[in-house]
Structure 1
Amino acid sequence: MRTPLGPVPHRAVPSVARGPHVLHITQPVEGGVARLVTDLAAAQLAAGLRVTVACPAGGTLTNALRAAGCSVLPWEATRAPGPRLPGEVRRLARLVRDVRPDVVHAHSAKAGLAARLAVRGRLPTVFQPHAWSFEAVDGVMAGAALRWERFGARWSSRVLCVSEAERRTGEQHGITARWQVVPNGVDTRRFRPEGDSVLRSGAGPLVVCVGRLCRQKGQDVLLQAWPAVVRQMPGARLVLVGEGPDADRLRAGAPASVEFAGPARDAAPWYRAADVVVLPSRWEGMALVPLEAMACARPVLVTDVDGARESLPPGHLPYCLVPPERPEALAWALTALLRRAPLRAALGAQGRAHVLAAHDVRHTTDAVIGVYRELLGVAVRPLVVPNQSRESITT
């Protein structure tokens, strides 16, 4: 059989009774990608698939996966490409031969690079960028990353984007692929308005930003905007939840009204405590933080990057979307939200309803399993998912 992107070798059809075997390969091992892989793996196990995840040690991913009952195999790999890449690819190729999966699902740029080099189209391979690699770098590195993405697409049975905007960005940069768009989803039973909340100190409004402390997430832009917010809203506090390579630089010179809370195993209590959740990213595919916050019925303020418009209910756009890298626009919009409690309540309620309808992780799981089913040409047996009212994931 031949596809427009190259030959697909003949494979024995996986047994429906035992369920197809999915090998997820991921690097990074923290943040939104780790949460998505954990949720997806747990839901796929509940749907009757066999699931193995290969990832580096560290971060939050390994413990979360094992707690969900998922098989985890160590794959030593750095976060960015470098001189260790050939060894990483060889180790991954051996791991794939040992695991003998029916389908490989590679998450993010580094795992997508190594997995496609290791497999080279010999197995059905799904690549999920979670934001494009060429957006994360500049100059010569950006050109090299783009050339690879154009070339590597031939070894992707599907390129799975989390938003139409992410897909359009790929197409506009000359990537020819067999595209599939499956919007991100979150666990709406875990992220909900009811539950534990962080104890608040002080009577002023609380703004929370959850994310890896790095250039992508734009906390530096938020800190530039923050003094203007405090001038208009004395007593306002900003909490940055997360850790990352920019932590020391961001802490240097931050005013007393800014708290660095470090990484949180569960961000839901922070969302519930917030008056507004803000994520001033420079680029994304579709960020999980706004979806998680809306699932907790909290208003969000995000930058107009890939996936942002698609993740928000239509009525949110005038209040909750600002241009990236514009601290003055961010300060104005944040102040406007903090001044209007009834608007925040309405936005929070609308956001919760929107996530339930369009971004529940069970919808995401259904769609991703549908991609596997199409690639393998088999049906995945329905299985009743625990703790749900006789709902089943059926493909």
Structure 2
Amino acid sequence: MSRTLVVTNDFPPRAGGIQSFVYGLIARRPPASVVVYAPRWVGSAAFDLRQPYPVVRHPTSLMLPTPAVARRAAGLVAEFGCDTVVFGAAAPLGLLAPRMREAGVRRVVMVTHGHEAGWAGIPAGRRVLARIGADADVVTYLGEYTRRRLARVIAADKLVRLAPGVDTGVFHPGAGGGRVRAELGLGERPVVVCLSRLVPRKGQDTLLRAWPGVVEDVPGAVLLIVGGGPYRRTLERLARPMGGSVRITGPVPGAELPGYLAAGDVFAMPCRTRLGGVDVEGLGIVYLEASASGLPVVAGSSGGAPDAVLSGETGLVVDGTRPDEVAAALVGLLKDPAGARAMGERGREWAAREWSWDLAASRFARLLEPAETP
């Protein structure tokens, strides 16, 4: 059996969308076919013991394309007899590809996310991506937006779509939303939930600026913001005048996230592009997890986020810089619960049909085979 070395900065137990994506792909490979090289993180030793494949940890929490990392990765290629290498995020570790070929690797697969699309918008980033693309056999993209951005510097015949999957057995309407509502004292109040890392791009501040207008039209509505991150203090300051109509939970364990989604009536994350296009949403897997949970979604128009919504069918796409537009979308959904439920039902059907992990795993498996055309 051929063996694949996965070199990635993004791997559990560190939380995040890219980490979940990379882990989900690996978890569906035969255990004897995979070796992972990733940074050390809090709790990584216990996590690694539970995996059926080897996980080799770098001694620090970040890996860069340095000679030391290159030597370690090349050593793993030799030690485990790997003939394929997958870079869990193409930039910047994909710069190690030439060294991997010298070590004996015959196939190089680069997985891209939102940040590579952002890099494609600046000259220095384009130069790095061009080098990475030149050394790859395959460069994956999430959706049409990221494909267009990457195609500026990477040959079109190397670009292949590979998006994350959604586990509809984990994310579903009965995943424990009633328990979460009871714990938070929400009762039967209308709930808009936003589950994401707390950073400016995700648009939680726009939700908070929109919220007084929502509560004016839908008395008793609650905004539930779930997650941790550096923007938390700013968001708590913005929320303070709104009292009990806003709840900011902070981070919650991964196993409890489906319950928090299922506790909502509407999911909203009005993401926006920042820093001249460098900070952009690649896709937004949480929109699809919310759809699988039976919720209509309100997504920002940043980058590839609209690829995760069938606008008008499974949710709405809004300008994440405009609180009035966000408020109007939320009010419309909250005041039409039957229509919102119908959107959520269509979203769950779409997630199960088009975004299953079985589809993603099958596509990934084909990319690893040198004899086949992706």
Same fold at TM > 0.5: yes
Q: Is the 8 A contact 1:184 1:286 kept in 2?
A: no
Q: Is the 8 A contact 1:27 1:111 kept in 2?
A: no
2:264 counterpart of 1:274: yes
Inter-CA distance 52–111: structure 2 relative to 1 (3 Å threshold): farther
Q: How does 1:224-373 map to 2 (within 5 A)?
A: 224-255=209-240, 256=243, 257-264=245-252, 265-266=254-255, 267-282=257-272, 283-313=280-310, 315-316=312-313, 319-373=315-369
Alignment partners' CA distance in 2, 1:226 and 1:136 = 33
Alignment partners' CA distance in 1, 2:321 and 2:98 = 35
Q: Is the 8 A contact 1:107 1:128 kept in 2?
A: yes
Deviation at 1:208, TM superposition (A): 1.2
Alignment partners' CA distance in 1, 2:70 and 2:237 = 39
- SS of alignment partner, residue 188 of structure 1: coil
Deviation at 1:323, TM superposition (A): 2.3
How high is the sequence identity, in percent, across the aligned residues?
28
1:125 maps to what in 2?
Answer: 108
**Which deviates the most, 265-274 or 61-70?**
61-70
Q: TM-score, normalised by structure 2?
A: 0.83
Alignment partners' CA distance in 1, 2:70 and 2:292 = 38
Inter-CA distance 368–244: structure 2 relative to 1 (3 Å threshold): same
Alignment partners' CA distance in 2, 1:148 and 1:325 = 30
Alignment partners' CA distance in 2, 1:354 and 1:116 = 37
Residue deviations 1:264-311 (CA, integer Å, cap 9, x gap): 313100111111111222322221101111111111111123333332
1:57 maps to what in 2?
Answer: 40
Alignment partners' CA distance in 1, 2:234 and 2:363 = 40
Deviation at 1:110, TM superposition (A): 4.6
Residue deviations 1:173-206 (CA, integer Å, cap 9, x gap): 4333510012321112212223322431234211
2:157 counterpart of 1:175: no
Deviation at 1:340, TM superposition (A): 1.0
Alignment partners' CA distance in 2, 1:103 and 1:196 = 41
Inter-CA distance 76–217: structure 2 relative to 1 (3 Å threshold): farther
Instruction: Give the gaps of 5 or more residues in structure 2.
Output: 273-279
Aligned AA (1:284): E
- SS of alignment partner, residue 192 of structure 1: coil
Inter-CA distance 155–216: structure 2 relative to 1 (3 Å threshold): farther
2:184 counterpart of 1:194: no
2:12 counterpart of 1:27: no
- SS of alignment partner, residue 252 of structure 1: helix
Deviation at 1:352, TM superposition (A): 0.8
2:132 maps to what in 1?
Answer: 152
Alignment partners' CA distance in 2, 1:276 and 1:77 = 39
Inter-CA distance 216–174: structure 2 relative to 1 (3 Å threshold): same
Deviation at 1:78, TM superposition (A): 5.2
2:56 maps to what in 1?
Answer: 73
Aligned AA (1:57): R
Inter-CA distance 346–59: structure 2 relative to 1 (3 Å threshold): farther
Deviation at 1:225, TM superposition (A): 2.3
Residue deviations 1:291-335 (CA, integer Å, cap 9, x gap): 111111111111123333332236427x51112322221121112
Inter-CA distance 334–79: structure 2 relative to 1 (3 Å threshold): farther
Q: Is the 8 A contact 2:200 2:231 kept in 1?
A: yes
Inter-CA distance 167–76: structure 2 relative to 1 (3 Å threshold): farther
Instruction: Give the gaps of 5 or more residues in structure 1.
Output: 1-18, 379-394
Aligned AA (2:37): A
Q: How many residues align?
A: 351
Deviation at 1:88, TM superposition (A): 3.8
Q: Is the 8 A contact 1:107 1:130 kept in 2?
A: no
Alignment partners' CA distance in 2, 1:59 and 1:356 = 33
Deviation at 1:221, TM superposition (A): 2.6
Q: How does 1:103-122 map to 2 (within 5 A)?
A: 103-110=84-91, 112-113=93-94, 115-116=96-97, 118-119=99-100
2:276 maps to what in 1?
Answer: none
2:191 maps to what in 1?
Answer: 206
Q: Is the 8 A contact 1:159 1:180 kept in 2?
A: yes
For the aligned residue pairs, the C-alpha RMSD in angstroms reads: 2.9
Alignment partners' CA distance in 2, 1:80 and 1:219 = 30
